[in-house]
Amino acid sequence: MDAATEEDYEAAVDIMKDKWASYPAVIQYVENTWLCHKTKFVTFWTNQVLHYGNTSTCRVESQHSAVKMWFDSSTGSLDTVWARVHSHIGNQIIAIRNGLEASRSKIGQKYRQLPLSRINGKVSQHCLKVLDEETRRMRELSYQVHERCGCAMRVTHGLPCACQIHDSLAAGTGLYIRQIHPFWRTLVIRSGDDGTVPGNDSTENAAHFRSLMEEVIVSDPAVLQNVSRIIEEELHPDHSDLREPVVNHRVRGRPRNNDTRRDRSYFEHVNRQHTERGARQTGDVNDISQSRYRHSLPGPMLPYITGWKDVIGDGNCGFRCVAEFFFGDQGRWYDARETIANEVLGYRALYERIYGLGRLEINVQRIRWDGGAVDSRHWMVAIQDLFPIATWFNTAVIILGVGQTPTCYYPCLTILPLRARRGVTAPEQEFVIATVGGSHFICIELAPDSPLPPIAGWWTENHDPSVDG
């Protein structure tokens, strides 16, 4: 019954026949009575039908039992039986209406976050529970979610499957009401010919947009200006007077070391980083056995971790790790941010495949920050930000992501450069970064010839031909 493929089903039948070969009558009974109806109950075939989770007759049988309890007797008269059944149905309708009202008014705390925040209060509680379980399955599948999803949920329930939930989280949008089958978002029940009243996508989208606008209006003036520009460009792309402000390179005051802006800085970094890394290995890296993060790191990798280096946790920790490794000074985290942002802007078409179409400028503004401690709006985003790091520094970036619970946001992956400079045939070094506690990054040192996590699927799909092979 639980066979997910036709091959699994055939193999299970063969095993059954071998096991009961000495009882041919049993095999004949099973084949002629049950297996002839395999498309009605075997998972492989039922996963191809829209059934909303009803895969057995248990619900019908339970209703039969409930009606019999209301009868009290098997010899009641017609008027008595009719009155009891009518009352029972009326009570059921009241219970259904109470459940629908609860779905509109009661909002669970765990449903206030992505990917369910947009549909919270617009679909039934049972639908939210099913999607929450599918989200948990998505996290268990980790980086193999697209290969192992199966996409049965979208066929059997009319709901987004694990890989669709993963894509919505990667895009930072969550699930939309239009992705939900009307069966789950019909929160009104009427009697007579009125039937049910399905939700209106346009009305709900307009309400959601108004709520976003209210948030923007009371936000920082810079946020208001940025959102206004984005909307203006979407609505009026033909306006020729919309231009990015010109960057003034002749500024007063103490200039920063912006060598990372120049092409020749790459070679300067290459010549300098070997010396700096050697200095760190001689005494600036701590023993992992003494780390308070030891229990937050992947168990199979612990024997290969030779050291670790913590950085200041002020919201810039991811970029501090980059500055510590490549520049030898975590205090140059703003240079790391600027380097990454320039790499992304220099190859827009390439990085739009990573950050998403139309989201490049938003992510560049997130990366560019030099105002000190910062909240989650300017944190490093793994794994997207690791691609420009790997590409600019020609480095294999290994991320060991755990936190309290492994999630798709912080997987264990190897990130390779998306493109290569002329004459470059392989990454020159390995930069290992780990996520601990769900929101903090630290630097890790691995022993030579350590096993590495699998290569990120985004690299396989989006890399430039210059790095083939």
Sorting pLDDT into bands at 50, 70 and 90, what band is 27? very high
Percent of the chain with pLDDT over 70: 79
Please tell me whether the peptide bond between 115 and the residue prior to it is cis, using omega within 30 degrees of 0.
Answer: yes
HSE at residue 148, side-chain half, CA atoms within 13 A, is 10
Partners of 442 in beta bridges: 434
Q: What is the pLDDT of residue 314?
A: 83
Q: How far is Cα 40 from Cα 237, in angstroms, rounded to an integer?
A: 53
Rg of the chain over CA atoms, in angstroms? 29
CA-to-CA separations, 125 to 62, 99, 413, in angstroms, rounded: 22, 8, 35
- Residue spans per domain, the chain: 60-199, 204-235, 263-467
State which amino acid sits at residue 181: H
Phi, psi of 392 (to 5 degrees): -65, -45
State which amino acid sits at residue 73: S
- Pairing mode, if any, of strands 429-436 and 395-401? parallel
- Regarding predicted confidence, which is higher, 35 or 268? 35
Q: What is the pLDDT of residue 240?
A: 46
Q: Which two tokens mark 225?
A: 């200006």
Tell me the pLDDT tens digit for each residue of 189-229: 765 444 444 445 456 567 667 777 877 787 777 777 777 77
CATH class of 263-467: alpha beta
Q: How far is Cα 395 from Cα 415, in angstroms, rounded to an integer?
A: 8
DSSP secondary structure of 41-71: T-HHHHTTS--TT--SSHHHHHHHHHHHHHH
Partners of 435 in beta bridges: 401, 441
pTM of the model: 0.42
Task: Tell me the average pLDDT across 424-452.
Answer: 87
Q: Which two tokens mark 284?
A: 């600036």
**305-309 sheet: strands from edge to edge:** 305-309, 440-446, 429-436, 395-401, 413-415
Q: Which of 166-180, 197-211, 365-379 is the least confident region?
A: 197-211
Q: What is the pLDDT of residue 268?
A: 43
